[in-house]
Amino acid sequence: MEDWLLLSLLPAAAASGWYAARSHYTRLYFVGHSHSLRQAYCRGLNYLLSEKTDKAIDAFADLLANDFETIETHIALGNLFRRRGELEKAIEIHEKLIEQGKLSQQQRDNAQYELGLDYLRAGLFDRAESIFQNLIDHEAWRKGSLQQLLQIYQHEKDWRKAAECTRHLHDMGKVPRGETVAQFLCELAEETLSSGRKEEAWQYLEEALRGDSKCVRASLLSAKLRMREGRFEDALQSLKHVESQNPAYIPEIIEPLLICHEHLEKSAGELLGYLGYLYETYGFESAAVALAERIRSEQGAGKAIERLQRVLDYRPSLKVLNSLTGLLLEDAAELPKEALIRMDRALGRMNADASRYRCSQCGFSGTELNWRCPSCRHWESTKPL
């Protein structure tokens, strides 16, 4: 009986021993494997933090080969390739990841978003737009997708869609890089105005000012359109409105202001008083030069020279000095005239090449007013000097 019991227990003991050994070695394998994975992760992260991108990519690539199912590794490696400019590899990794059927919805959305960034960096705007449009309905990715779409629409000059994106972002309390609906409406107004569709241009400008009463660009465009229509008094009011919107742009109203006064045949005293007020209040050299030109017309070059000399005493500038040499040529004796001519020409060349505008965000300067900085891409950050 005992022998029979012993024989019957032998298979169970053998099986139990085999199972215990298997569990032991399996546990050792997974512990060791997990440890090696952690080491690989740490090594890759250290390279990444040290900005050794090439070594980080190699480390993560090795990790991916040994742990293919790790979603985060795929995404991290794809992002590193995109950062290094190897966009084909980044796209391939993120596309293969999306093809897997085991992803959760959150993981799939994450991979889709990264793939959209790959396409955007590669200049495949239609594919990127399609991805970000699909992600708008997903709350976690809505804001980021709208921001990327906004950049796409600005690049493609699709101002209507850009305005719509900006409205949605405003509702969410986030608008990057200074974009405003008013600026996009002004872009549309300029497009329609250049093609002769004045009524449509007016609609955009009125909508821009309703949405943003401080939009200087809309006021300047309104003045320009009114001058085309011969409505110089209304144009004058639009120009003067700029002061209350943003005094930094006052230099932009000087030339059209003079044209309006000329067509309206207003009294010289009114114009001289307003130009004097602008200069004394804000100190813009363009107002001082315009004032001197009007004084020359009304009272002669001598009085204008006196005025500009006082300006140079307090606020010397190349533009004012150039204007002064021109007036001195009118009032000079024959002996020094040749020297004045040479100085006037030299100053004229220097003034023509001098920067007239500077971006308050990045410091980019130039001779033309860009409502969107060509360097840092901020809107309405470039101001007259």
In a domain, 346, yes or no: no
In a domain, 102, yes or no: yes
Q: Give CA–CA dist 215/371, Å, rounded.
A: 11
In a domain, 100, yes or no: yes
Q: Give CA–CA dist 367/356, Å, rounded.
A: 5
Q: Give CA–CA dist 349/366, Å, rounded.
A: 15
Predicted local confidence at residue 346, as pLDDT: 67
Encode pLDDT of 193-250 as tens digits: 999 899 999 999 999 999 999 999 999 999 999 999 999 999 999 999 999 999 999 9
At which of 159, 174, 200 does a domain end? 159
In a domain, 32, yes or no: yes
In a domain, 246, yes or no: no
In a domain, 329, yes or no: no
Residues of the chain with pLDDT under 50: 1-35, 49, 68, 335
State how many domains the chain has: 2
Predicted local confidence at residue 313, as pLDDT: 81
Encode pLDDT of 157-202 as tens digits: 999 999 999 999 988 887 666 789 999 999 999 999 999 899 999 9
Cβ contact 35:67 at 8 Å: no
CATH of the domain at 64: 1.25.40.10
Please give the model's pTM, rounded to 2 decimal places: 0.76
Q: Give CA–CA dist 376/385, Å, rounded.
A: 18
Quote the mean pLDDT of the chain.
82
In a domain, 292, yes or no: no
Predicted local confidence at residue 278, as pLDDT: 95
At which of 115, 140, 159 does a domain end? 159
At which of 159, 175, 208 does a domain end? 159
Predicted local confidence at residue 50, as pLDDT: 57
Structure tokens at 381: 């950050």
List the Cα angle 217/220/225 in 5-degree steps: 120
Report which of 277, 281, 229, 227 is spatially closest to residue 255, judged by C-alpha positions: 227
Predicted local confidence at residue 15, as pLDDT: 45
Q: Give CA–CA dist 204/300, Å, rounded.
A: 45
Q: Which domain holds residue 82?
A: 23-159
Predicted local confidence at residue 40, as pLDDT: 57
In a domain, 231, yes or no: no
Residue 215 backbone phi and psi in degrees, to 5: -75, 100
Q: DSSP secondary-structure letter at 50?
A: T
